[in-house]
Structure 1
Amino acid sequence: MNILFAFYIPSGGVETLNRLRSIALQKHGHQCHSLYLNGGSGLQNSHDTPVFVTNNDIEIKQILDRGKYDVIVVTSAYRFLAKFRAMGFHGKLIYEVQGLGSFTQARITLNEASHNIRTYSNGLLNPNTPHIRQLFTEIFPQMPQFNFNNCMDMENFSYRYVQTPASPIAAWVGRIEDNKNWSEFLFICAELTRFHVSDLQVWMFEDPLLSEPGERAKFEMIKQQLNLKDRIVNLTNIPHDQMPEYFSIIANSGGFLCSTSKVEGAPYSVLEAMACHCPVLSTDSDGVRSSILHNQTGKYYTAGDIQEAVREAFELMNNNSLRTSLVLQAEHHVRTHFSPESYSSSFLTMVHAL
């Protein structure tokens, strides 16, 4: 079977997912390719499967003709659905949502896309994201719907033996835009440094090309106001295969990953931290529910409650028995529920059902 995954840009979680699921499915004898409309930072990562980057319709038609695809999965970019059908694709066309911003924005986008989805696609896919499942059921009640976890390759992405830093690290991964709620992370770090952890380091992993200009200006202003300028280390476009080392350093430091998003689809950063023994403190951003179980595989705090977040972070950093328990259970959870084998099985079951 020949499979194509299509998305806007090779960056973030979707680029990671497309690489990992392509490798997983190829182990079962299926050929997988990826198509992106524009270039992005993810192209620096090692790709074991072909990747095409073009927004030229003639080139896209040539890719479809050469690829002879049986299945195409379109992530978010619903206009691709009509385009691929117009170019003569007659195979199974699956519309996938990995995240569409806030609940309100997701509803708006899916309503805008509803004609294309109903007319041109054969089924809907999402990674067990509760609010997307709800919207799929509400807007597309008659369409086949599939919900299963994304995959993690823990053979290649797991804890590394690294040096222990002199001071603890609070880390954040995302884009400088409103839904990722970066400002809340800065306020949490400011409170931690003021009352609890005077030597805290603050690491922020991001792709600056994907930030919103207005949010970037606010970011520069707030980090100055909170006296965090000298603590913050901006880590931009780190190659994916280097991230296990960074997460392992954060883990060894006694620090944690903080996920402050308002709404998430299925964030890879949380899974990746858990795979590397790095504890996670998160808002209940909906899509994290399949990975974080409070005080079992990670910790939640109430979005907007800085003091609660600080208390939970302080416990993560100082309660050694709880920290050890969370780390071990988190690693087991990822290995058990997000394996490439399980993903391949679910994906192929979906295709056969369609």
Structure 2
Amino acid sequence: MGGVEVILKNRLEVIAENHSDISADILFFNDYGGKKLFSDKFEKNVYIIKDPLRIRQFVIEGKYDFVISIDTPEIFEYITDNSVKFILEVHTNYKENRNYLSSIVSGKQKPIAITVPSNYFKDIISQEIGNEIPIYVFPNFINNSFIELYNSIDVINESDKKYIGWIGRLDSLKNWSEFIDIGQKLAKERDDVIFLIVGGMTADESIKNSFFKALNKKSLLPSTKWIPFYSPIQAIYKTIAQSNGCYVSTSRGESFGMTVVESMACRCPVVCSNIDAFKEITDSGKSGLLYDLGDIDSAVSQINLLLDNQRVREDIINNSYQSLFERYDPSKIIFDWISLLHNLLDKCSISSNVQDIQ
């Protein structure tokens, strides 16, 4: 279960609340735990189908106005019916996982549009495949239900120390090793912090071994709590915020940065690497503190500022919370998204009528 599942559920909730004339189904080729996220309200809208022939039958018989593929190029091979209107969503920031784009753009079954979650990522995709297919930006967002669950959760911190949180896969892009380097320096300067690392459940054993060796080498095992997977994630953010700690992202690259947005929505202040996606989210540092990627001293200095300066801490929390819902309003984003779908539908109808006349 990852960011895409959360995004899909968020959309379904807003559509169900405000757009009763629209229905949507979600198709997964495999279930690695994501389906349970939809079990409360949308279980009937979620399908797990592995067989390509059954997938093709499912789509054709569904007579959907659009089929939206989220980084799933196989669907373009399974369904070659020209009546199917594809939209391609690109979310993966792993460049090797985007190699499929060139074949999609040059293939017979092209999407009529591409959507991405940030302006920064739009520039990246444009550089990789050009602008033959129009690219639109639709940010991810936080739903009211996310905040409501956060507010309803009670957490009891096991320690009176400040929690420094990090969430993500244990891989080079999320850059867990830099967080450990930051932790080492921070732990040498102060004894009132605990490092809370969440993620890595699906990592190879060799990666997990490297992770624990690094913690041991940096003498951080006693002051680190590792949780491979946790739900609801709001409890993690509340634990951090309640302890007067902060959330840290050391990522080398993001298409959006959902954990940073979630943290901001939970009034948990953030320190993140100064990659373009985070600059966009934090309004160049007004809603979260940035540090130069690789600069451990700078990262530690920013963390210390949030831990020790209450005025700065409150300013960052208030700025981030206010700007988050001004810039990423769920109703507006979904309204714009649905307007795009209507416009694309009209264009397809006009194009089809022209072809019929010819």
TM-score where L is the length of structure 1? 0.87
CA contact (8 A) 1:95 1:125 kept: yes
User: Matched residue of 1:202: which SS?
Assistant: strand
Q: Does 1:21 align with 2:14?
A: no
User: CA offset at residue 109 of structure 1?
Assistant: 4.5
Aligned partner of 1:166 in structure 2 is: 160
Which of 126, 138, 141 pairs up with 1:151? Answer: 141
Does the Cα contact within 8 Å between 1:258 and 1:282 map onto a contact in 2? yes
Structure 2 unaligned residues grouped into runs of 5+: 345-358
Which secondary structure state, in structure 2, belongs to the residue aligned with residue 266 of structure 1?
A: coil
User: Is 2:70 aligned against 1:75?
Assistant: yes
Letter in 1 for 2:91: Q
What residue number does 2:171 align with? 177
Deviations 1:102-148 (A, max 9, x none): 5xx466453354324x7421111001141443332552322121112
Q: Which letter does structure 2 place at the counterpart of 1:286?
A: D
Amino acid at match of 1:54: I
Instruction: Name which of 331, 343, 351 aligns with 1:341.
Output: 331
CA contact (8 A) 2:55 2:78 kept: no
CA contact under 8 A between 1:76 and 1:100: conserved in structure 2? no
Displacement of 1:12 in angstroms is: 1.2
* 1:122/1:295 CA distance change after superposition, 3 Å: closer
Q: Given the superposition, is the C-alpha separation of residues 214 and 350 from structure 1 closer, same or farther in structure 2, using an over 3 Å criterion?
A: farther
* TM alignment of 1:208-223, pairs within 5 A: 208-209=201-202, 211-223=203-215
1:205-229: CA deviations, max 9, x gaps? 11411x2454333212101101111
The percent of aligned pairs where both chains have the same amino acid is: 22
Q: What is the distance in 2 between the residues matched to 1:144 and 1:255? A: 42
CA distance 1:121–1:80, shift in 2 (3 Å): same
**Which residue does 2:87 correspond to in 1?**
94
Contact 1:126-1:133 at 8 Å conserved across structures = no
- Equivalent residues in 2 for 1:200-239 (5 A)? 200-209=193-202, 211-239=203-231
Aligned residue in 1 for 2:354: none
Q: CA RMSD in A?
A: 2.2
Which letter maps to 2:222?
A: D
- Report if the CA contact (8 A) 2:122-2:135 is conserved: no
Question: How far off its partner does 1:157 sit?
Answer: 2.5
Seen in structure 2, the aligned counterparts of structure 1 residues 225 and 318 have a Cα distance that, compared at 3 Å, is: same
User: For residue 92 of structure 1, what is the amino acid of its counterpart?
Assistant: K
Equivalence for 1:4: none
Matched with 1:318 is 308
Query: Does 2:188 match 1:194?
Result: yes
User: Which structure carries more relative contact order (alpha carbon 8 Å, separation 6+)?
Assistant: 1
Q: Which residue identity lines up with residue 138 of structure 2 in the other structure?
A: F
Distance 2:182 2:271 in 1: 11
For 1:3-57, what per-residue CA distance to the aligned partner results, in whole angstroms no more than 9, with x for missing partners? xxxxxxxx21111001111221233021111111211132332442221122211
Q: Is the 8 A contact 2:111 2:133 kept in 1?
A: no
Distance 1:112 1:206 in 2: 32
Partners in 2 of 1:25 and 1:154 — Cα distance?
13
> Contact 2:215–2:221 (CA<8 Å) still a contact in 1?
yes
Residue 123 of structure 2 aligns to which amino acid in structure 1? R
Q: CA deviation at 1:314?
A: 0.5
| 1:170–1:201 Cα contact (<8 Å) kept | yes
Structure with the greater alpha carbon radius of gyration: 2
Moved more, 89-98 or 222-231: 89-98
Q: Is the 8 A contact 2:92 2:98 kept in 1?
A: no
- What is residue 3 of structure 1 aligned with on the other side? none
Going from structure 1 to structure 2, the CA distance change for 1:43 and 1:119 (only over 3 Å counts) comes to closer
Q: Please list, as runs of the form range in 1=range in 2, the aligned pairs for 1:245-264 lying within 5 A after superposition.
A: 245-264=235-254
1:60 and 2:55 aligned: yes
